[in-house]
Amino acid sequence: MVPQFRRVRPSLLGLTLTAVFTLIGCATDAKPDFQPSQIVAPVPAPFCGTPAGCEAGWTSARRWVLDNSGYKLRLDSSDYMETFGPKGGHRYLAVRVTRVPVDGGAHRIQIEVVCGVTAVERGLLIPRSYNPKCNPEPDVATADFNTRIAASIAEAEGPHSAP
């Protein structure tokens, strides 16, 4: 006589526990590192060659950060500003802006942007209608920042004072 194996149906409790432990293992509260955007923006970082141009560029940079970040400024000085964040799971842009001296007394105003959205949110538990990306994306925000700051500097310095 050949033994017959009866088909064992998984219990609801077993499936529930498996799902819970899987989610616990995947869902971490780790904060993403503050890293600049992985995609290089096609617009170069703006340069200022005069005190008036640098002041206009820095004022414009501060306004851009306040209007576009979603976080408040944490540090703000004459050559460095940084917002709070990034906070994992948030679609806000955390921003760091520095004014870096270059040859001849000019300065470069450069930005680093990171989005707080984590990979966990891109999983299966989020409704398909949810867009798990920052708006704007960090590379788009970087290009917009560089364009706007360069325009402010050009307006302040005039057409003949470019470095």
pLDDT surpasses 80 at 55: yes
The answer to whether position 45 is within a domain reads yes
Quick check: 154 and 51 in contact, CB under 8 A?
Answer: no
Edge-to-edge, what's the strand order for the sheet holding 107-115? 47-48, 107-115, 93-101, 80-83, 73-76
The answer to whether position 49 is within a domain reads yes
The answer to whether position 70 is within a domain reads yes
| Distances in whole angstroms, Cα of residue 106 to Cα of each of 53, 82, 126, 127, 151 | 10, 22, 47, 49, 16
Q: Which of 13-17, 26-30, 60-64, 70-74 is predicted most confidently? A: 60-64
And the tokens for 87?
């906070």
The answer to whether position 25 is within a domain reads no
Q: How many domains does the chain have?
A: 1
And the tokens for 20?
């819970």
Quick check: 64 and 149 in contact, CB under 8 A?
Answer: yes
For residue 137, give the CATH number of its domain: 3.30.310
And the tokens for 18?
């498996």
Q: How far apart are CA 149 and CA 151, in angstroms?
A: 5
Task: Write the pLDDT tens digit of every residue in 62-94.
Answer: 999 999 998 999 999 999 999 998 876 678 889
81 contacts: CB under 8 Å, gap ≥ 6 = 61, 62, 65, 73, 75, 95, 96, 97
Question: What does residue 10 show for φ and ψ, rounded to 5 degrees?
Answer: -65, 140
Predicted pLDDT at 20: 47
Rounded to an integer, the average pLDDT of 114-141 is 62
The answer to whether position 5 is within a domain reads no
End-to-end CA distance of the chain: 94
State which residues form the domain around 52. 32-157
